[in-house]
Amino acid sequence: MTLEEYLALLEAQGVVPSGARNRVSSQQLKKTAKIPVKRKGKSDPKMAKALRKANALGRTKAGKLRKGYTQAKIMKKAHQLRRKM
């Protein structure tokens, strides 16, 4: 959707008065746009502990990933450890 199409929609809804297309600032456009709210779930202390253990296994002292480890493998290991808790 182009800016012109967006402004036409706003005019149709009555948010922006007609003829004011050139005077609409980006701040006014941001105010009218609805930002979706991110849902926050409950934190799981057992999963946090499992992630610390899995990261310790998959990383070196310097913090780099060990050879053959990926972030996906670390997460799989963390889920495995979480199930055993």
pLDDT over threshold 90, residue 72: yes
pTM score above 0.85: no
If one counts the domains in the chain, the total is: 2
Cα dihedral: 48, 54, 56, 58 (round 10): -140
pLDDT in tens, 2-53: 888 887 887 777 775 555 555 656 666 666 667 778 778 888 999 999 999 9
Tokens at 67, concatenated: 């050879």
Its domain, for residue 23, covers: 3-32
Do 28 and 49 lie in a common domain?
no
CA gap 39, 24 in Å, rounded? 32
Per-residue confidence (pLDDT) for residue 17, from 0 to 100? 59
Q: Which carries the bigger pLDDT value, residue 68 or residue 34? A: 68
Is 37 a member of any domain? no
**Alpha-carbon dihedral 25, 28, 32, 35, rounded to 10 degrees:** 90
Whether residue 24 is contained in a domain is answered as yes
Give a yes or no: residue 39 inside a domain: no
Determine, yes or no, domain membership for 57.
Answer: yes
